[in-house]
Amino acid sequence: MWQAEIRVDLDAIRENVSRLCAGTQAAVMAVVKADGYGHGMVPAARAALAGGASWLGVATLDEALALRRAGITAPTLAWLLAPGLDLHLGVSADIDLSVASVGQLREMTAAADAAQRPARVHLKIDTGLTRGGATAEDWPGLVEAAAKAQADGSVEIVGIWSHFVYADAPGHETIDRQLAAFHDALGVAERLGVRPPLRHIANSAATLTRPDAHFDLVRPGIAVYGLTPIPGEQFGLRRAMTARARVMLAKRVPAGTGVSYGHAYTTTRETTVAVVPVGYADGVPRHASNVGPVRVNGTTFTIAGRVCMDQVVLDVGDLPVSAGDVATLFGSGDDGGPTADDWAEAIGTINYEIVTRFGSARVPRAYDGGTGE
Domains and CATH numbers, the chain: 10-225 (3.20.20.10), 241-368 (2.40.37.10)
**What pLDDT score does 206 carry?**
98
The whole-number pLDDT of residue 284 equals: 97
Q: What is the pLDDT of residue 235?
A: 97
- CA-based R_g, the chain, Å: 24
Cβ neighbors of 287 (< 8 A, separation 6 or more) are: 307, 347, 348, 349
- Going by the DSSP 8-state scheme, the letter that residue 54 receives in this structure is -
Kindly tell me the sign of the dihedral angle through the C-alpha atoms of 27, 33, 38, 44.
Answer: positive
pLDDT recorded at residue 372:
44
Active-site positions read 33, 261
* Rounded distance between C-alpha atoms, residue 69 and residue 85, angstroms: 18
Euclidean distance between CA atoms 139 and 189, whole angstroms:
9
What is the H or E stretch that residue 77 is in? strand 76-78
Is the Cβ–Cβ distance between 219 and 29 less than 8 Å?
yes
Which amino acid would we find at residue 216? D
Q: Residue ranges of the chain with pLDDT lower than 70?
A: 371-373
User: What was the pLDDT predicted at 371?
Assistant: 57
Q: 236 with 17: CB under 8 angstroms?
A: no
DSSP helix/strand/coil, 266: strand
What pLDDT does 74 receive?
Answer: 98
Q: Report if pTM > 0.75.
A: yes
